[in-house]
């Protein structure tokens, strides 16, 4: 294990949800819990067996650590391990604090040209990497990203990086769609009160064809329906956003057109990839951070996120650090 002095921690929609509702699905907050799972910091102390890190190293933290070497770990899909530890998923404490202890194998050294904030953004970025891999994005793909919140945006960034020829994004909010344009979306569609079929036909008309791949980042029933209708026959729909447990969808439409529907759960094996991309400047995640607060103003930061202002709200946990 290593002890870290925390630096930057991003606020996620799930953090806000636990704070407001005390549960997400089967994960129920029963005792006081530290929030935060998008994080970076500096190594202060290392355990006796740790060789790849030393005090002073700047690291990004992968929040999901398997507790046992089960079949999922053996096949490289450790995110599916049922006993996994995960920061800020009850009952496991997160890392929105000054000092934090974590498994050293899940702390990744940041190169000098990657900032602490970029290190903290690897967590949401990882969702995009995992989703686009599961979707099979490749050279020339036409991609429909439903939802332009932080997760929609990282999917746009990663899809373009992986060779997508055209990415179209839908959202209710004009300002969020503007952000999607900034990070590389080719087309945006502001949805008002169209039916799912109407949304699907708008997607087709701006792309000039039906997309092979749809990445659904809202979890809203109507959006999942639109995702099925929009996806080209033989294509893939990846469900990233989580909404109600039961959803009514046109499953026969998907079945007879051989549209594959895939789920994702967090990510695995993405930190080294993300660090390589950030270090080589192949991707830019800096525009995602729109608000910054010191740890003392955490409540204000959470309220900003809850109101849906900006994109990513970042907390700075280290009062001694004066870097920008």
pLDDT in tens, 229-277: 999 999 999 999 999 999 999 999 999 999 999 999 999 999 999 999 9
Classify domain 131-263 at the CATH class level: alpha beta
Domain boundaries, the chain: 2-109+285-316, 131-263
Topology, domain 2-109+285-316 = Quinone Oxidoreductase; Chain A, domain 1 (3.90.180)
Average of per-residue pLDDT values in the chain? 96
Give residue 320's pLDDT band: very low, low, confident or very high (50, 70, 90): confident
Tens of pLDDT, residue by residue over 97-139, are 999 999 999 999 999 999 999 999 999 999 999 999 999 999 9
Say if strands 260-263 and 236-239 run parallel, antiparallel, or are unpaired.
Answer: parallel
Tens of pLDDT, residue by residue over 145-181, are 999 999 999 999 999 999 999 999 999 999 999 999 9
Average pLDDT over residues 52-60: 97
Identical topology for domains 2-109+285-316 and 131-263: no
- Alpha carbon separation from 299 to 39, 116, 314 (Å, rounded): 18, 22, 12
Tell me: pLDDT of 321 over 90.
no
The answer to whether the predicted template modeling score (pTM) of the entire model surpasses 0.85 is yes
CB atoms within 10 A of CB 182: 14
Residue 159: its pLDDT value, please? Answer: 98
**Degrees, nearest 5: CA angle 51-57-61:** 85
Residue 322: its pLDDT value, please? Answer: 61
**Which DSSP symbol is given to 89?**
S
Tens of pLDDT, residue by residue over 264-319, are 999 999 999 999 999 999 999 999 999 999 999 999 999 999 999 989 999 999 87
Tell me: pLDDT of 324 over 60.
no
């Amino acid at each position: 294990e290593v002890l870290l002095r925390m630096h930057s921690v991003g606020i996620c929609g799930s953090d806000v949800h636990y704070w407001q509702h005390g549960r997400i699905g089967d994960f129920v907050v029963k005792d006081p819990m530290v929030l935060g799972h998008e994080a970076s910091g500096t190594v202060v102390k290392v355990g006796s067996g740790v060789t790849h890190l030393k005090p002073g190293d700047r690291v990004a933290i992968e929040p999901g650590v398997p507790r046992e070497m089960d079949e999922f770990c053996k096949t490289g899909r450790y995110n599916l391990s049922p006993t996994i530890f995960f920061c800020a998923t009850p009952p496991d404490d997160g890392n929105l604090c000054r000092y934090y202890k974590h498994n050293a194998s899940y702390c990744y050294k940041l190169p000098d040209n990657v900032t602490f904030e970029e290190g903290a953004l690897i967590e949401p970025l990882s969702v995009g990497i995992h989703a686009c891999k599961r979707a099979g994005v490749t050279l020339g793909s036409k991609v429909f990203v439903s939802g332009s919140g932080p997760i929609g945006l990282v999917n746009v960034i990663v899809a373009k990086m992986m060779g997508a020829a055209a990415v179209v994004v839908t959202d209710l909010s004009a300002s969020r769609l503007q952000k999607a344009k900034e990070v590389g979306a080719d087309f945006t569609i502001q949805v008002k009160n169209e039916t799912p079929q109407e949304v699907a036909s708008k997607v087709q008309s701006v792309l000039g064809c039906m997309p092979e791949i749809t990445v659904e980042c809202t979890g809203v029933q109507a959006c999942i329906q639109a995702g099925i209708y929009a996806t080209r026959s033989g294509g893939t729909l990846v469900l990233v956003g989580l909404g109600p447990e039961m959803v009514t969808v046109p499953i026969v439409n998907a079945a007879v057109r051989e549209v594959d529907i895939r789920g994702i759960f967090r990510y695995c094996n993405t930190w080294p990839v993300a660090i390589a991309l950030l270090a080589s400047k192949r991707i830019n995640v800096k525009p995602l951070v729109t608000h910054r607060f010191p740890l003392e103003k955490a409540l204000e930061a959470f309220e900003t996120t809850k109101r849906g202002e900006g994109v990513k709200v970042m907390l700075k946990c280290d009062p001694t650090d004066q870097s920008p």
